Amino acid sequence: MEYPIWQLTTLAGGFWIAFIATIHVYVAHFAVGGGLFLVLTEQAAYRTNNMHLLEWAKKHTRFFLLLTMAFGGVSGVAIWFTIALIAPEATITLIHQFVFGWAAEWVCFLGEIVALIIYYYTWNTMNRRDHVIVGWLYFIFGWFSLFLINGIIGFMLTPGDWLQTKDFWDGLFNPTFWPSLVFRTFFSAACAGLFGFVTATRIKDDDTRMLAVRSCSVWTTLGVLAVIVSGWWYIAALPAGQYEMVAFKSHRVAVFMQWFWMFSLATLIGGLLLAIRAPRLISFPLALVVLLAGQGLFGSFEFVREAGRKPYLIWDTVYSTSIVKAHMPIINQNGAIASAKWAPPELKKGITEDNWKQAGAFLYQLECSACHSIGGPMNDIRKRTAVFNTNGLDALLTGMGKINKYMPPFAGTPDERMILARYISEELNNKAPMDPVELPELKSVEPVAFGSDTSEYVLTAWCARGAGFYAQSDKWTLLPPSNTLRAQLVLRGPGPERVLEDVVITYQVENGFKGKSLSGTLALNEEFERFETKLAIQSQANGAYNLLPVINLEARNDAGEILATARVALPTSNQMGCRNCHGGEWAQGDSGVANATVENILAVHDRMNRTDLSNRKGVVECASCHDDPMQDTDGKDKRLNLSAAIHGIHAVYLAGREAEDSCLKCHPESTLRGQHDLGGFVCTDCHGAMEDHAISLLKAEKDQSIPGADRLLGLIIPQTLGNQDAINPRTPWLNEPDCLTCHVDFQPPETDSAFNSWTDGPATLYAARRDEMDAMHCGACHGSPHAIYPASDRDNVMPLQYMDEAQAIGANGTCVVCHGETMEDAVHHPGMGLE
């Protein structure tokens, strides 16, 4: 935040650093190994009295001087120029920390220059012994230069104890200093052979050319083999955090590791072929191909090594955005724009609708440009974010540095984060803002006629799930359409009786809907003394979205005579908001998860979990791997249950949000429709904030020693309670918020949150619980969960049948519905409001 960054677009994302550095460092290694190669070749020529070999050494020295000193020196300056402009904070840190080291390295470099110039210009004037001594001096200066630079480069990856001590020697002799030094020394030797091939093609004497080429082949092949072994040592020596990033976290590593092995093999084969077939087929183009293979070998390894630094330029100190890690809390509090000394003055006054694009462009430069280009070859931001809209990008930015640890966390306020997401989505990717979900106006349903003086029976019904959401396509099933319809039949009278025998209750879904079991018979559940059946109804009717299909119920005796009829709404919705973050449109009309959205979900799952779901044929069933009590599946291999896995991951990306921007980004807008909604309650009042909800699920999995629970728990900060220990574990669908937490003794609420007080199991869930007489179910009088009477018009069809008013059956003196008369005592539960 102290220094401005060179603003690039197409060739941004560290392109120039990568381009210049990989070439320069390749030449720099040749400068070390080539020096040893020269002096040993000169000694061999003197020893064998081979004037052709000596002449080649002289000519190779000229090539060596021009490449290492002229090109190498200029490209070295170019590196300093680019890193100072693109990564100023890390550059100044290296300068300040290693002043003595840089000074010593420059002394060594000066020694290289002087020794090499003397060596080149005194071939014919200096005696052999002194000339060889100068050659050895050059190599010694070069190797000590490598020694020092190796320590500084290694410090950026593995600073080790320096993080605590800030001591120069701890930084220089860091945990990977020695394996890195051995690796680079062997690679320098391989470079000597690779570059030697280029000039060896010009030797006119066949025998000498064969000798030179085979000598270069030995340097190359043995050097590369030693590089592979020492490279493994290098990677294995990485501390846990960096090793995990290289081995598991950065998906780009696998690609570059493949290139490393391919180029290693190509270099070895090329070096051997040149030796075996020389001198007949040796040529400059062939030597150049082998040389470029060596460049690919080294470049791919450097990319693998660099991946170990992510998301830092200097591990645990300076992020790749040039933001100092220690400054993050203040930046998050005050804002990135306010903290950047070089931010435009007009932005420091505040972000408005008039300057949001300028603010977004500045935030992009600050947060993204170090690693991403705009339409360029390095991590093109447009390609990598093409699937996301503003909501998805905001979530992605929230999770940066947590799940995706190779990316630094976003620095700034939530408002700045949203502006950056909007800039990338709307300005760079030209994505129009997503239209808000609109619920259709559903046609009212006429209640069944009920005669309070003539009807003998009351048939009441409710659903186990008041929000019967589902998500599936022909490629994927997260949760299939499913709900359980429950009913009770009551014989009216001063002493009403439940009817459980000699009666059949049938149902018929209103016309136009699709699904399984659109009509049938409810079965008697003897244990809980109710009738019930499972239904799988889709939320499309006659081509339009309809979340509340109405079920027509009939109760008949053994003679087939109708005892009672009723209607009840059965909620079902596939208006899941996966597209809000994963892209795509609705699958059909105004609902459904489209295949484009599913493909992104599966691709993300593959990348994060190393699975191959995207390539599987048929339908991917999430519950085939993850336990899910709703679907009665056990999963496999001790994976997190489905709800814990989904909420655990999404709590990381949707952290710090209210219910509207967390729960309802995924769940249908129609989830809460009843009295609680009318009273201003939201999802988090009962289930807790997104983070707390996830913690409760993950803690139960942790208690079962399920792998992955601890990892996610470590990324989530509780919102409602002070710490994770205070949050009680729960199993999804079986342990839900207990109504009596708020309604103590069935009285009006004494608190505004039921979070963290869970029901004991299936029998104590609201939809299964019975009154104090152990007779009537709560849902029979109050309606389905999430749709407690009064609710939407269709949800109210049953109380309107019996009372001409949308309220709990029996409330406000309406006991006559079942009892045939007004009751003086509240027999079902206290606080019934009989007056």
pLDDT at site 281:
58
Q: How buried is 630 (Cβ within 10 angstroms: 0-12 exposed, 13-18 middle, 19+ buried)?
A: middle
The tokens describing 84, both together, are: 């100072």
What mean pLDDT is predicted for residues 331-357?
94
Query: Is the confidence at residue 7, as pLDDT, over 90?
Result: no
- Yes or no: say if 692 and 755 are a contact pair by the CB < 8 Å rule: yes
pLDDT at site 251:
63
Regarding beta strands 620-621 and 476-479, do their DSSP bridges make them parallel or antiparallel, or are they unpaired? parallel
pLDDT at site 252:
67
Alpha-carbon distance of 564 to 593, in angstroms, equals 39
pLDDT at site 609:
87
pLDDT at site 654:
95
Task: Give the N- to C-terminal CA distance of the chain in Å, as an integer.
Answer: 68
**Residue 592 phi, psi (nearest 5):** 95, 140
Alpha-carbon distance of 361 to 26, in angstroms, equals 36
- Cα R_g (the chain), whole angstroms: 37
DSSP state of 790: S
CA 828 to chain centre: 50
Q: Got the DSSP string for 491-544?
A: E-SSS-EE--SSEEEEEEEPTTEEEE-SEEEPEEETTTTEEEEEEEEEEEETTE
Instruction: Summarize the chain as % helix, strand, coil (round to 5).
Output: 50, 10, 35
Alpha-carbon distance of 623 to 612, in angstroms, equals 16
Alpha-carbon distance of 657 to 10, in angstroms, equals 35
Only one residue has tokens 């979530």, namely 395
pLDDT at site 286:
83
> What is the percent of the chain with per-residue pLDDT over 90, rounded to a whole number?
76
Alpha-carbon distance of 818 to 535, in angstroms, equals 28
> Is the Cα torsion angle 306, 308, 309, 310 positive or negative in sign?
positive
pLDDT tens per residue, range 717-738: 999 888 999 999 999 999 999 9
Alpha-carbon distance of 126 to 109, in angstroms, equals 23
Q: How many residues does the chain have?
A: 835
Instruction: Provide long-range contacts, Cβ within 8 A and 24+ apart, for 91-99.
Output: 92/3, 93/314, 93/317, 93/318, 94/152, 94/155, 94/156, 94/314, 97/155, 97/166, 97/168, 97/171, 98/152, 98/155, 98/168, 98/171, 98/172
**What is each CA distance from 666 to 70, 153, 315, in whole angstroms?**
60, 45, 36
From 802, 826, 805, select the one nearest 816 (Cα to Cα): 802
- Identify the H or E element spanning 487: strand 483-491
pLDDT tens per residue, range 262-304: 999 999 998 888 877 655 556 788 889 999 999 999 999 888 8
What mean pLDDT is predicted for residues 620-643?
92
- Yes or no: say if 575 and 569 are a contact pair by the CB < 8 Å rule: no
Split at pLDDT 50, 70, 90, the class of 165 is very high
Alpha-carbon distance of 592 to 557, in angstroms, equals 41
Query: Is the confidence at residue 835, as pLDDT, over 50?
Result: no
Domains and CATH numbers, the chain: 15-314 (1.20.1630), 330-428 (1.10.760), 457-569 (2.60.40)
pLDDT at site 253:
77
pLDDT at site 813:
79
pLDDT at site 435:
80
DSSP state of 66: I
Alpha-carbon distance of 504 to 716, in angstroms, equals 51
Alpha-carbon distance of 564 to 781, in angstroms, equals 16
Query: Is the confidence at residue 508, as pLDDT, over 70?
Result: yes
From 473, 443, 755, 458, select the one nearest 586 (Cα to Cα): 473
pLDDT tens per residue, range 800-813: 999 999 999 988 87
pLDDT at site 786:
96
Alpha-carbon distance of 429 to 542, in angstroms, equals 36
Q: In DSSP terms, which residues pair with 324 in a beta bridge?
A: 318
Q: In DSSP terms, which residues pair with 568 in a beta bridge?
A: 551
- Yes or no: say if 28 and 298 are a contact pair by the CB < 8 Å rule: no
pLDDT tens per residue, range 228-262: 999 999 988 999 888 888 876 666 677 888 899 99
pLDDT at site 279:
52
CA 457 to chain centre: 56
What mean pLDDT is predicted for residues 699-710?
94
Peptide bond between residue 311 and the one before it cis (omega within 30 degrees of 0) = yes
> Is the Cα torsion angle 231, 233, 239, 243 positive or negative in sign?
positive
DSSP state of 167: -
Spatial CB neighbours of 830, under 8 Å, sequence gap ≥ 6: 745, 746, 747
What mean pLDDT is predicted for residues 202-214?
89
The tokens describing 307, both together, are: 């991946």
**What is each CA distance from 65 to 35, 58, 71, 138, in whole angstroms?**
10, 11, 9, 12
Alpha-carbon distance of 436 to 438, in angstroms, equals 6
What mean pLDDT is predicted for residues 572-588?
93
Alpha-carbon distance of 718 to 655, in angstroms, equals 10
Split at pLDDT 50, 70, 90, the class of 170 is very high
What mean pLDDT is predicted for residues 563-569?
97
pTM of the model as a whole = 0.88
The tokens describing 643, both together, are: 């709800």
**What is each CA distance from 300 to 28, 146, 229, 266, in whole angstroms?**
17, 20, 16, 13
Q: What is the pLDDT of the chain when averaged over all its residues?
A: 92
- Identify the H or E element spanning 109: helix 99-121
Alpha-carbon distance of 832 to 829, in angstroms, equals 6
Query: Is the confidence at residue 411, as pLDDT, over 50?
Result: yes
- Yes or no: say if 796 and 770 are a contact pair by the CB < 8 Å rule: no
Q: In DSSP terms, which residues pair with 479 in a beta bridge?
A: 471
From 66, 185, 68, 49, select the one nearest 128 (Cα to Cα): 49
> What is the percent of the chain with per-residue pLDDT over 70, rounded to a whole number?
98
Alpha-carbon distance of 207 to 220, in angstroms, equals 20
**Is 156 strand, coil or helix?**
helix
From 154, 179, 195, select the one nearest 29 (Cα to Cα): 195
Q: Where are the beta strands (DSSP E) in 542-598?
A: 544-545, 550-557, 562-569, 586-588, 591-593
The tokens describing 745, both together, are: 């003794």
Alpha-carbon distance of 428 to 369, in angstroms, equals 13
- Yes or no: say if 832 and 826 are a contact pair by the CB < 8 Å rule: yes
**What is each CA distance from 458 to 195, 450, 486, 496, 527, in whole angstroms?**
95, 9, 14, 10, 21
Least confident piece of the model among 133-137, 422-426, 500-504, 658-662: 658-662
Q: In DSSP terms, which residues pair with 515 in a beta bridge?
A: 537
Alpha-carbon distance of 648 to 601, in angstroms, equals 15
Spatial CB neighbours of 358, under 8 Å, sequence gap ≥ 6: 344, 346, 347
